[in-house]
Structure 1
Amino acid sequence: MTTPEHTSPHDETQMALDNPVTRYPKIEPPKQDQPEPGLDAKLEPRADHGEDSYQGTGRLKGRKALITGGDSGIGAAVAIAFAREGADVAIAYLPAEEEDARKILRAIEAEGRQAVALPGDLLEVEYRNALADEAARQLGGLDILVNNAGKQIAIERLEDLSDQQVIETFQVNILAMFAITRAALKHLPQGASIINTTSVQAYEPSPTLLDYASTKAAINAFTKGLAVQLAPRGIRVNAVAPGPIWTPLQVSDGQPKEKLPKFGHNVPLGRAGQPVELAPAYVFLASAESSYVIGETLNVNGGKATP
């Protein structure tokens, strides 16, 4: 008979485990609106990028990474995690996101790593074509590329979805990915890693996100095809497919305003994810631990069924 003061190792393990349902709060965001692109500094509630929780173990020591959309949301969480794993990090972001970017740049520097700011607009061909070269110049090389920046605007009816919005969404989400990756290849050595951010929307498109979902499906195809092309060169290409993650994208017309209070409640875990919960997936795909992982789309979506 086991007394309370003589617990088994199994009991101790159970006591130490985190319940994924309750590890992060089930948020019910108030209806709110920000002009595109949105700022984490004004997000209610604020997103968790791992500032106080992510602990590195040196898995990316000496690596040099470029992350697009690295000022907030998933990109910011990845930037912090990479720095705590030992990497120097350049982040690309819109000039309007400077307030958020400065916070993340300070977090990178706090880990004793080099932080490079690369503000600009991916709609501008000259900027996106030069981005990888500038990152490599300032970092002294480049061996990780995270294509993460995205544009998402919800439109209820196809009749109201303009050609201009479709063009801009494709330019930012997928055409810029082609351009940045193409330019980065002259810098990426054997052992380098490219990680693209796709979405559960590629498999289960929301009727209000037709253009966005279409780009995410294209990113999956781009990832898998490029992975086969670059594998013989020793460069691995993979993707991460987030589910509903709480970021400024959602309040800058990324979701219908009336749906914000229940955002993410429809997944099996019953809550939206936090950006920090994506960071370990990117660290894994960037590190040598995933050396035999090629063309994978790693789903981090709270339990949504995917192919």
Structure 2
Amino acid sequence: MTDHDEAPALRPLTLAWVNRQLGPGERIVRTEALHGGITAEMRRLTVAAPDGGTRALVLRSFVDPYFVKHAGDLLNREADALAQLAETDVPAPGPVAVDPAAAHCEYPSLLMTRLPGRTVLTDEGLQARVPLLARQLVAIHALDPADRPQRYKAWTTADAVVPAQGSDRVAWAAAIEVIRKPAPPFEGRFMHRDFHPGNVLFDLSPDGSAGPRITGVVDWVQTSWGPADLDVAHCSTNLALLHGPAWGLRFAEAYEEAGGVLASAAGERLYWLLLDALAFAGQVGPVVRPWQEAGRAELTTRAVEERLDAYVISLVDALS
């Protein structure tokens, strides 16, 4: 879903900065606000060339005070990741220009190329998409750049977890005790760190005659070096909340079927899966909004909290 605006909707300094990144005779003829993100303001820019052709760029701007404060690290990390990915087979945007300290724009910004395809969050066709997601994540984890990104950061702690009202207190207490333990040892991997269906673009044939294919992976601001299990866990949690707990459990299986390697001990796997799932406690609202904008109106905050509760119970029961 997008909102269509005129080019002047870009803030003046940002518009001037973007124009300086364009080729001779190129000009912005259209802007669209892209919905679906949580942390940044995203716009698609249609650029016309003198010969009549057009191309599309994407502009990310951090406007929330918290993310403005951390924009230098996040935008530089994404720009570096995109530059590295340009030398690989992983479909990612190409970096065009970055202004991490808002030296030229009103807000810290990153300009990048736009990839074809769209996000797909429907239940329909999920069985065909999950193996593709798994194979794509295996390919990401196979990368070993000379300049490794920063070490991963956990997004919650045992003491910070507050279960939603009505959650199974026994299961959540057990889950919290699992992540209170020290992190298991792991072999470091190149991590997307926010890999989930909302950050993967698909091409779907209109008549369904051809199967889905992935055309891009976006939003690399959290790129890290760390355990493959945690990247798998994050996608698993998102699948569980979007489509039901069984799909969260299924994704780890699909990842291994695609050749990925996870922790050998069940207790270690449980640690990473719960470390991600419990990070959603009290944070469901911001996740739900883009899903609803994408057409999943039935995914209310309460409905997703109930799915999170069911997923945590299933993890504790299945892997403990």
With the length of structure 1 as denominator, give the TM-score of the two structures.
0.32
Answer 1 or 2: higher relative contact order, Cα 8 Å, separation at least 6: 1
Higher strand share: 2
